[in-house]
Amino acid sequence: MKQFTLFRRFLAPLLLVGILSILSTAVYMFTLDMKKIERDAGGETDKLAYLLEMAESLVGEHVYSSMELLKQRSLSLGKPGIDGTVVLQQQIQPNLVFGKQSQSERTDLVDGVTSIGSGTATLFVKTGSDFIRVATNVRKKDGTRAISTILDPTGKAIAQLQEGRPFYGVVDILGEPYISGYEPIKNSTGSVIGAWYVGYKVDVKALDQAIKKWSYLQTGFAAITDYNSNIRFTSESITKAQAAAVLNSTSGEWLVVSKNIPNWDFHAHIAYPKREAYLKSIGNLYPLLLLGGLFGGALFLLALYSIRRFILTPLGGDPETASMLVSRIEQGDFSDDGTHAKPDTLIDNMLKMRKRLREMVGELQKNTERLTVSSSVFAHAHDGIFITDSNANITEVNPAFTKITGYSRKEALGREPNELGFAYQKEDFFSNLFKAAADKGEWRGEMLNLHKNGEQYAATFDIFPVYDENGNFQHYVGLFSDITLAKEQQQALEHMAYHDPLTQLPNRTYLQIAYSKC
C-alpha cells in the first residue's frame, strides 16, 4: 500500500510529465517533418518551374532576334498600310502592304526569317477586333498553311495588340505551346493595322520525357497544367485522367503543392498521399521515441533513487504518514495510534514530539484542575484575599475582599493596602510589614482598618511572599478576616465576668485580680 501511495503521489505525476514531454516533442517533430515534406514538395515545383523557364529562356533569344529580322525585312519593302481588300480562302480581307507590295499569301518574308530551326512566323492583318493570318508558315494538322485563320480571341496576346503594345510569352497555337513574340504593325497615323509574329515550338517531347521521370515519396507525382487547367505533362506513374482527378479532389487524401509559372501561365504541381507523408514522418520519429524512452526510463530510475535517498530515508516512512501525523498534531490529536518509524528520522522525531506534547497536555490538564479548585477557593473563601506585585500594588482581589472593605475590584487594583484603610492608625505599618514579611517569610497579627464608608473594623491579617521555581520573588498574598463582632462579644463577656449585673460595679473577682497585680 505504501509503495502504491509513493507511486501515485510522486512517481506517477513524474512519469506522466515524462510521457507528455516525449509525446509533445514527438508531435512537434512530427509537425516539423510534415512541414519539411511540404517544403521539399515546394522545392520540386520550383524545379519544374525552372525547367520550363529554362526552356523559355533558351528559346526566347531566338524569338527576339527573329522578330527584329522579320520587322527589318518587312519595313525594308516600304511603310506598312492597307490597300483595299483581297480574297483569302473565299473571304474578303483588308489588303496588308509594305510599300506597294501586298503580303497576302506571300511566304518569302515568313519563310526567310524561320528557315533555320523549327520556328514559325506570321503576318496578321487587323479587321474589326480580329487579327487574320495573311502570310504564315504555321501549318494546320493537315499540313496546309493556316492562311485566313484568326488569332485566338481569348488568348493572352490579342489584348496587348489591340492596345498597340507588344507581347512575349508562351501561347497556344493550334493546340501546341509556342514561345512567341507579337509586335503591332502600325500605319503612318499610328493606328494598329496588323501584327508581326515569330514563335518557336516548345520541344514537348523533351519536356514530357523529363517530367515523366519525376516522382515524390513512393506514389507521389508531378504534373503541369495550362491556363485552362488542362494537364499538359505528368509523371509516368499516373495517367492524365488520374492526375486530374487527384488535383480536383476535395477528399483530403492527397496533399498538393502548386506553383504558378507566369511566362507560361502554367502551373506546376507536386501531389503526394497524406498517408505516405504521415508514415514517413512517423518513421523518422522512431529514433527520437526510442532515445526519449531510454532517457525517460533513466530519469525515472534516477528520480526513484533520489526520492528514496533524499526523501523516504530521512523521512523514515511514507510521506503520507508524515502528512497525516502533522495533520493530527495540528488538530490537537496527540493520542498514540501505533505509528512507528526508524530511529533518528523525521517521523521518529515527530512521534517523540507528539509524545512530549501528550505529556505536556496531561500536565496542563492537571494544573488546570488544580487552578480550577484554587480559583473556586479564591472566589468562595469567606476571608478577604488580595495579591500584590513586588511593589505592593494590588493586582487581584476576591469577592470577600470587596464585602469586607467595601472597595470594588476595580477600585482596589493598582493601589496599595494602606490606601484602602488597612492599619490606618499606623503610617509606616505596611512598609515595615512588607520588610518583615520578606525577611521572615510571613507576618501574622491583628489590626484596625477603615471600611470604605468610614467605619472601623478589627481584622486578623496574614501576609507572605511568593517565589518562582528559581527562588525569585514574585508577589505578596494577604489574607484577612473581620473580627469586630468577635471582639465586641469578648468585651461583653469580660464585663459580665468582672461587674455586677445589677449595679454594673466591679465585683469581687475584679478586685482580686486588681489586688494581685498590685
pLDDT digits over 173-191, tens only? Answer: 766 778 889 999 999 999 9
Local structure of 26: helix, strand or coil: helix
State the DSSP code for 35. H
Q: Is the predicted pLDDT of residue 506 greater than 80, yes or no?
A: no
Q: Give the pLDDT of residue 193.
A: 95
Q: Which segment of 5-9, 133-137, 206-210 scores lowest on mean pLDDT?
A: 5-9
For the sheet with 384-388, list strands across it: 394-397, 384-388, 473-482, 456-467, 443-450
Q: Say how far apart CA 182 and CA 437 lie, in whole Å.
A: 137
Q: Which residues lie below 8 Å from residue 517, measured CB to CB, with a gap of 6+?
A: none
Rounded Cα distance, 270 and 421, in Å: 117
pTM of the predicted protein model: 0.49
Contact assessment for residue 207 and residue 55, using Cβ atoms and an 8 Å cutoff: yes
Confidence of residue 4 (pLDDT cuts 50, 70, 90): very low
Instruction: Name residue 206's amino acid.
Output: A
For the record, the C-alpha cell of 383 comes out as 476571608
pLDDT band at 319 (very low <50, low <70, confident <90, very high): low
| Average pLDDT of span 130-145 | 89
- For residue 420, pLDDT over 80 is answered with yes
Q: How many CB atoms lie within 10 A of CB 8?
A: 11
**Confidence (pLDDT) at 191:** 93
62 pLDDT above the threshold of 90: no
Residue whose entry in the numeric block shows the C-alpha cell 517544403: 39
- 62-66, 137-141, 225-229, 314-318: which range is least confident on average? 314-318
Question: What is the rounded distance in angstroms from the CA atom of residue 312 to the CA atom of residue 70?
Answer: 97
Distance (Å, whole) CA 37 – CA 31: 10
pLDDT band at 394 (very low <50, low <70, confident <90, very high): very high
**H-assigned helices in 76-104:** none
Percent of the chain with pLDDT over 90: 19
In terms of Cβ atoms closer than 10 Å to its own Cβ (0-12, 13-18, 19+), residue 61 is: exposed
Task: Say if residue 3's pLDDT is above 50.
Answer: no
What is the number of other CB atoms lying within 10 angstroms of the CB of residue 305?
10
- Sequence-distant (6+) residues with CB within 8 A of 352 are none
CB contact set of 393 (below 8 Å; sequence gap of 6+): 414, 415, 416
Lowest mean pLDDT among 176-190, 237-251, 287-301: 287-301
Measure Cα distances from 475 to 379, 470, 471 in Å.
19, 14, 12
CA distance 219 to 242: 12
pLDDT > 70: percent of the chain:
81
Is 80 exceeded by the pLDDT of residue 496? no
Q: Which of 46-60, 226-240, 424-438, 460-474 has the lowest mean pLDDT?
A: 424-438
Average pLDDT, the chain: 81
Which residue's entry shows cell 496578321? 124
- Checking if the pLDDT of 402 tops 60, the result is yes
- Rounded CA separation 511/81 (Å): 188
Cβ pair 29, 23 in contact under 8 A: no
Residue 378 — very low, low, confident or very high, per pLDDT cuts 50/70/90? confident
Higher pLDDT, 502 or 449: 449
Segment 213-220 shows an average pLDDT of: 83
Tell me the β-bridge partners of 110. Answer: none
Give pLDDT, residue 41. Answer: 86
Cα–Cα nearest to 194, from 98, 274, 271 = 98
Highest mean pLDDT among 45-49, 180-184, 263-267: 180-184
Q: Rounded distance, CA 16 to CA 25, Å?
A: 14
Q: How confident is the model at residue 210 (pLDDT cuts 50, 70, 90)?
A: confident
Query: Under DSSP, is residue 475 helix (H, G, I), strand (E, B) or coil?
Result: strand
Residue 395 contacts residue 413 (beta carbons within 8 Å): yes
Name the band, by pLDDT with cuts 50, 70 and 90, for residue 406: very high
- Long-range CB contacts (< 8 A, 24+ apart) of 435-438? 437/463, 437/464, 437/465, 437/476, 438/465, 438/473
Cα→Cα distances 503→320, 491, 495, 513, Å: 98, 18, 12, 19
Cα torsion through 213, 217, 223, 224, rounded to 10: -90
Q: Name, of 280-289, 327-336, 389-398, the range with top average pLDDT.
A: 389-398
DSSP-assigned beta bridge partners for residue 457: 449
Residue 126 has pLDDT above 90, yes or no: yes
Taking the C-alpha atoms of residue 453 and residue 348, their distance in angstroms, rounded to an integer, is: 66
DSSP H or E stretch at residue 189: none
Termini Cα distance of the chain: 103
Does the pLDDT of residue 317 top 80, yes or no?
no
Cell triple for 509: 473577682
Is 448 in a helix, a strand, or coil?
Answer: strand
Residue 1 has what pLDDT?
43
pLDDT of 2 strictly over 50: no
pLDDT at 131: 94
* Cα Rg of the chain (Å, integer): 63
**Max CA separation in the chain (angstroms):** 198
Residue 497 carries which side chain, given as an amino acid letter?
Answer: A
* Distance from C-alpha of 221 to C-alpha of 214, rounded to nearest angstrom: 7
**Cell numbers describing residue 287:** 529514433
